[in-house]
Amino acid sequence: MDAPEHPQLYLITPPEVELSRFPDVLASVLDTHPIACVRLDLATRDEDRLSRAADALREVTHARDVALVLTDHMVLSERLGLDGVHLTDAAKSVRETRKALGDDAIVGSFCATSRHDGMSAGEAGADYVSFGPVQATQLGDGSFVEQELFEWWSQVIEVPVVAEGALDAAMITKLAPFTDFFGIGEEIWQADDPTAALGALIAAMS
């Protein structure tokens, strides 16, 4: 399956969000640009904070017919009526998560830089596989995903692929022909005007 001519956009929230402000910022971005999915990706493991954030963002996303998934917390995602989960343990829990949430839920799998994990996640029933970061950063061990992996995936594997982490306009231009989604987060939230920042990255796709 060839990747689409223009990849779709997958937004990732900042690790900390101010609920008095962020839902309005998100609404502005969603009203301006076509977004396929939003991932609630908070650093906290506090159930109350996650629940309140999910409730606030679900109002924004569902009013605009945009899916909202939660990182890792399968039980909480189901209880809060979200659209699914984004798993960060590569392929390990995809199969049991799919079984628990059913066929209609979105189950995504982050596989870092591992082609093997990506293939395993796809075989286990993931709706999409995410790789990243796409270039070297000071975080982690400095490893990153080579463009060749996205090229190979787009030619051989039917499961949609997401490129995320350390994206910039130049990388988006390079990867656009080979990825189905760009997972964009800190790249825009750190800007004064996230909506304009996203517009500049979208322009780099074509």
Domain 8-203 has CATH 3.20.20.70: yes
Q: Please, which contacts does 20-26 make with residues 24 or more away whose CB atoms are closer than 8 Å? A: 22/56, 22/57, 23/56, 23/57, 23/59, 23/60, 25/189, 25/194, 26/57, 26/60, 26/61
Output the six-digit token pair for 113. Answer: 């830089």
Give the CA distances from residue 19 to residues 24, 25, 125, 184, in Å, rounded to whole numbers and listed in that order.
Answer: 9, 10, 33, 20
Encode pLDDT of 74-127 as tens digits: 999 999 999 999 999 999 999 999 999 999 999 999 999 999 999 999 999 999
pTM score over 0.75:
yes
Distance, CA of 26 to CA of 198 (rounded, Å): 12
Polymer length of the chain: 206
Confidence of residue 178 (pLDDT cuts 50, 70, 90): very high
